């Protein structure tokens, strides 16, 4: 297993609309995707693109707003009312091999692989096993999102 590309940084927010305005007006973001609901994960998501070096694809910011009934993001926002960094996400070429590797290292994988916001398989690794950082592992998308 080798460290893959940093695909995105997840940022929990009480309001995607307010966060879009922040990234557009304060941070100068020029490419902000339309928000969409991920009911299976209980969140509304919006991706903000960042430029990469030499015209390459940069790391995205994933804005995450809880949908009604989402206890985990709502709990995070109770502790961090203004929102904040929630997780980091790295790409891997094959999700099941990555899951097996993390488990063989004694890391706590949170649930089975499932479809994430980019339409590819993902899983999370417990922050206590990842130096305090909730870490999402995702299979490299076949097409850019």
Q: Which residue is listed with tokens 């009480």?
A: 14
In a domain, 131, yes or no: yes
Residues in the chain: 145
Q: What's the structural domain count of the chain? A: 1
Establish if 144 belongs to a structural domain: no
Q: Is residue 66 part of a domain?
A: yes
Percent of the chain clearing pLDDT 70 (strictly above): 97
Q: What is the DSSP string of the chain?
A: -----EEEEEEE-S-HHHHHHHHHHTS----BPPPEEETTTTEEEEEE--BPGGG-B-PEEEEEEEPTT-HHHHHHHHHSTT-EEEEEEEEES-HHHHHHHHHHTT--EEEEEEE-TTSSEEEEE-GGGTTT--EEEEEPPSS--
Tell me, yes or no, whether 25 lies in a domain: yes
111 within domain boundaries: yes
Q: What count of other Cβ atoms lies within 10 Å of the Cβ of residue 78? A: 9
Banded pLDDT at 54 (limits 50, 70, 90): confident
Return phi, psi of residue 142, to 5°.
-75, -30
* Under 8 Å between Cβ of 108 and 129: yes
> Which one of 62, 91, 136, 139 is the catalytic residue?
136
Is 57 part of any domain? yes
Which two structure tokens, joined as six digits, stand for 62?
């994933």
Of the CA atoms within 13 Å of residue 10, those in its CB half-sphere come to 24
Task: Indicate whether 113 belongs to any domain.
Answer: yes
Q: Name the average pLDDT for the chain.
A: 93
Task: Give yes or no: 112 in active site.
Answer: no
pLDDT, tens only, 56-113: 678 999 999 999 998 889 999 999 999 999 999 999 999 999 999 999 999 999 999 9
State the Cα–Cα distance between residues 125 and 77, nearest whole angstrom.
20
Which pLDDT value is given to residue 3? Answer: 84
Q: Does the residue 82 lie in any domain?
A: yes
CATH code at position 82: 3.10.180.10
Domain range enclosing 127: 6-139
């Amino acid at each position: 297993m080798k460290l893959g590309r940093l695909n995105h940084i997840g940022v929990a927010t009480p309001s995607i609309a307010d966060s879009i305005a922040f990234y557009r007006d304060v941070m100068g973001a020029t490419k902000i995707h339309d928000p969409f609901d991920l009911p299976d994960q209980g969140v509304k998501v919006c991706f903000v693109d960042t430029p990469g070096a030499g015209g390459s694809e940069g790391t995205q910011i994933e804005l995450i707003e809880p949908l009604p009934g989402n206890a985990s993001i709502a709990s995070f926002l109770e502790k961090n009312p203004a929102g904040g960094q929630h997780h980091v996400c790295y790409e891997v070429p094959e999700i099941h091999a990555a899951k097996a590797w993390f488990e063989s290292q004694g890391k706590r994988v949170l649930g089975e692989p499932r479809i994430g916001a980019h339409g590819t398989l993902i899983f999370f690794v417990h922050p206590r096993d990842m130096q305090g950082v909730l870490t999402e592992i995702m299979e490299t998308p076949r097409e850019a999102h």
